[in-house]
Structure 1
Amino acid sequence: MALPSPELPDSAGTDGLGPFLEGGDVLVLGKHVFVGRSGLASDNAGHRWLAKYLRPQGYTAQQVLLEPHVLHLDCAIGLVREGLLVVCEDRLPQGIPVLLRDWDRVTVTEEEAEALGTNGLSISSDVYITDPAFARIGAELIRRGLTVEYVDFEISRSLGGSFRCSTQPLTRID
């Protein structure tokens, strides 16, 4: 099943009605799915469609509000492993989602988040890939027992995407 084709803006420039749902706004944590919404990408109609589609399989979908300048949820939160996340709390006007509030966190600055510092790739519960530009974030993850692999992704990041954008992982098998 695919997301229905969205109603697009008309020639008068009015906004379409969606649904809009973009991969960077979707973070999967077991049977719980977080869907970001800033007004730039995924919208309420996309969230409602996903929630309705996933409900019969036992999933819940929770909308997470983002500041208006943030393109996607993975530009504010990165799920590293169960109990550990990287996050730029300044990008979350309602704070970290309740389900994640007790997790250990590596706090990311607005500048690091703008450069996609939350958009690394967790390839197992023990190994995380990020750009060498985020050595400070990597050092915090190493301090928490992870192996951090650095891959220069500067050119891709300059075009607006990083590791998670390049892979769109839905599940990880350890």
Structure 2
Amino acid sequence: MLELNINNETSRLRAVILGTAKSNGPVPQVEDCYDPKSIESVLAGNYPKEEDMILEMDAVETVLKKYGVQVYRPNIIKDCNQIFSRDIAFVIENKIIRANILPDRGREIEAIRYVWNQVDRRNRIVLPKECHVEGGDVILWDDYIFMGTYSGEDYADYITARTNMDAVIAIQELFPEKTVKAFELQKSNTNPKKNALHLDCCFQPIGKGKAIIYKNGFLIEREYQWLVDFFGKENIFEITKDEMYNMNSNIFSISEEVIISEKNFARLNNWLRKQGFIVEEVPYAEIGKQGGLLRCTTMPLVRD
């Protein structure tokens, strides 16, 4: 049996699912892309090659194993993009919650069925159909669950709107002792510089009580301000529009002190080191062309 335990983003990581780029399938058609960043790379003719993405993900696996983390990988499904394991399910406390993701991506959950089946049945949660949620919109901070959402009447028009208020309410009912706080995100189907696909694309808490944030990813300034006040302005690293576009907030914590980051994030990585973090740099720019980065490709199962 797998005893799940996740209460925040930064406690010492013991077990994780890392996606896979193997048998990723051909370059998609524009109409089959799920986000504006992928559309952009298809149109520019620089959509990432499978072999490059495999190397990038292997680099992350090497770092995880260096710190003694147990790494699970999805079973390979032929010609299926299985990179973003955070989208398909997520863990809160001792429960694994299946994300009701875009219908085309249902096969991805089958590839981690062997992990799902190791969890006590009572702790495997499938939300009602009307609850849309993806793991990138769910950020745990001990007594708080922060959730990115979009509640505009035009929700259905946005393929980039991934988590709705029905899901926020469902999570609050599942974890009544926690404070669930929802944040309205900026959405765009066409402009990756104006789209916060998930909450972790514009905000992420890291160790030592610090956080990375991008103001214009939030639709409502007061909600952004709440986070700044919560963490304290002196503990916040504000990223620029271009840094948000390159996914600077989408790094991944192995512990309070150790962070995996993209090697090109020079300004961020320097700041992290000045704050006393150990920064494990990896190449991840090719993965980034699909609109996700380190947090999106990892799904933590057990932290201390």
- Rg larger for: 2
AA at the equivalent of 1:79: P
Partner of 2:135: 23
1 CA distance for matches of 2:217 and 2:267?
19
Partner of 1:2: 125
AA at the equivalent of 2:209: G
The number of residue pairs the alignment matches comes to: 160
Which has the higher mean CA deviation after the structures are superposed, 151-160 or 21-30?
151-160
CA-to-aligned-CA distance 1:86-117 (integer Å, 9 cap, x gap)? 11112123324346342501111111111111
Partner of 2:226: 97
Unaligned regions of 5+ residues in structure 1, if any? 7-17
Is contact 1:28-1:170 (8 Å) kept? no
Q: 1:66 to 1:47 in 2, by over 3 A?
A: same
Is contact 2:162-2:198 (8 Å) kept? yes
2 CA distance for matches of 1:170 and 1:113?
27
Partner of 1:124: 255
The alignment partner of 1:97 has SS state of helix
1 CA distance for matches of 2:272 and 2:301?
22
The alignment partner of 1:133 has SS state of coil
Pick one of 181, 199, 203 that aligns with 1:73.
199
Unaligned regions of 5+ residues in structure 2, if any? 1-123, 156-160, 188-194
Q: 1:21 to 1:132 in 2, by over 3 A?
A: same
Pick one of 254, 265, 280 that aligns with 1:134.
265
1 CA distance for matches of 2:271 and 2:225?
19
Q: Give the CA deviation at 1:33.
A: 0.3
TM-score (norm 1): 0.84
1 CA distance for matches of 2:237 and 2:294?
18
CA-to-aligned-CA distance 1:1-23 (integer Å, 9 cap, x gap)? 424342xxxxxxxxxxx211110
1 CA distance for matches of 2:126 and 2:181?
17
Overall identity of the aligned pairs, in %:
24
AA at the equivalent of 1:28: L
2 CA distance for matches of 1:116 and 1:63?
21
1 CA distance for matches of 2:162 and 2:262?
25
Partner of 1:37: 149
Higher RCO, 1 vs 2 (CA within 8 Å, ≥6 residues apart): 2
Q: Give the CA deviation at 1:169.
A: 3.3
Is contact 2:211-2:231 (8 Å) kept? no
Partner of 1:144: 275
Q: 1:27 to 1:76 in 2, by over 3 A?
A: same
Is contact 1:121-1:164 (8 Å) kept? yes
Pick one of 34, 47, 66 that aligns with 2:168.
47
Kindly indicate whether residue 303 of structure 2 is the aligned counterpart of residue 154 of structure 1.
no
